[in-house]
Structure 1
């Protein structure tokens, strides 16, 4: 599993283990990370998630 740190706009961190084969967005949605609505379905069009 990959350990991914999601950081909210206020600095709150969520460290999640994400299964291989899932995208960063899918990991966020499956783990109820606040602010990741995934309205675009992972097409990088809705701007609710950013990867650095």
Structure 2
């Protein structure tokens, strides 16, 4: 675990790939250092519900 965090807003459906929980934007993936991997494990937490 890297300890990196990024806060995102869920604004669409998906993900559409099998075995995936969430698809991140390029910017969010870049902040987490995931660009070269393409896919990685992440922890998802709900911060607030509008």
| Normalised TM-score (structure 2) | 0.32
Which protein shows a greater Rg? 2
Q: Name whichever structure is richer in strand by fraction.
A: 1
Higher relative contact order (CA 8 A, sep 6+): 2
